[in-house]
Amino acid sequence: MLKALSNVRPFIELPDTLVEDPSQITAAVLVVNNAGARLGVLGFRETQR
């Protein structure tokens, strides 16, 4: 599969949860909410060598 990619860009989603109390957020809550991302951090392009 890697041979089919010309480059890779890492992306980290910043979740936009629907939880009223952020202290109650767990990994399970993020999975159930599907971690609906509004924003994210896009990394630098890495070209396959």
- How does pLDDT run along the chain (49 residues), one tens digit per residue? 777 888 888 988 877 767 788 788 888 877 777 656 678 888 998 886 6
Instruction: Please report the pLDDT score of residue 47 as a whole number.
Output: 80
Strands, E assignment, the chain: 7-8, 11-15, 37-42, 46-47
Domain count, the chain: 1
For 8, the domain range is 2-47
How far is the C-alpha of 8 from the C-alpha of 44, rounded, in Å?
8
